[in-house]
């Protein structure tokens, strides 16, 4: 069970997406397999994360579709599009954005690699160089003991999609 007194940052990498030319990257949608696997992955995630207070997504199609699956399974009515989750966006600004939420909130963000790894690394080590990697559909939970700031987070867990899907069995 999660401690409800501290802010949690739930990082979710989008599911498997279709292949399109690089110039159409933003339009890549989840594949049918990607949708199916993400539904099972998020059902497993629901076993260890009881609730999400804020759900934000990159504006890219595959992330938005992944966030909609998360919203459906967690019973959320609102998915906020957050440009700071787009590839190449400022990670420090994203951590600053977290400060605008309740200090005991569970904030879930859906995005891309290598940006999510860089965000996690910044949160837990204050270094922008990625020290971990999220496969498609992977999720990680970072807890902040005080106001979110670079280096003040603790990585509680990082689970790959296959591990999360097994939680739903």
- What is this structure's pTM? 0.94
In order along its 169 residues, the chain shows pLDDT tens digits of: 444 579 999 999 999 999 988 778 899 999 999 999 999 999 999 999 999 999 999 999 999 999 999 999 999 999 999 999 999 999 999 999 999 999 999 999 999 999 999 999 999 999 978 888 899 999 999 999 889 999 999 999 999 999 999 998 7
How far is CA 6 from each of CA 9, 127, 137, rounded to the nearest angstrom? 10, 22, 25
Tokens of 138: 């992977």
Q: What is the pLDDT of residue 129?
A: 83
Q: What pLDDT, on the 0 to 100 scale, is given for residue 3?
A: 46
Determine the pLDDT at residue 2.
47
Distances 16 to 28, 65, 94, 161 between C-alpha atoms, Å: 10, 11, 24, 11
Angstrom distances, CA of residue 143 to CA of 63, 120, 160: 23, 11, 18
- pLDDT for 1 equals 41
């Amino acid at each position: 069970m999660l401690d409800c007194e501290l802010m949690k940052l739930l990082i979710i990498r989008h599911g498997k997406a279709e292949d399109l030319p690089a110039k159409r990257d933003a339009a890549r949608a989840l594949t049918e397999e990607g949708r199916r696997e993400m539904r099972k992955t998020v059902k497993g995630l629901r076993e260890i994360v009881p609730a999400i207070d804020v759900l934000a997504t990159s504006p890219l199609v595959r992330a938005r579709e992944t966030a909609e699956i998360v919203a459906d399974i967690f019973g959320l009515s609102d998915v906020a599009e957050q440009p700071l989750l787009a590839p190449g966006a400022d990670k420090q600004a994203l951590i600053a954005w977290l400060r605008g939420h309740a200090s005991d909130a569970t904030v879930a963000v859906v995005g891309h690699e290598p940006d999510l790894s860089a965000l996690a690394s910044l949160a837990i080590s204050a270094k922008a160089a990625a020290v971990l990697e999220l496969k498609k559909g992977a999720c990680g939970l970072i807890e902040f003991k005080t106001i979110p700031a670079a280096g003040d987070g603790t990585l509680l867990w990082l689970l790959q999609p296959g591990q999360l899907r097994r939680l739903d069995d």
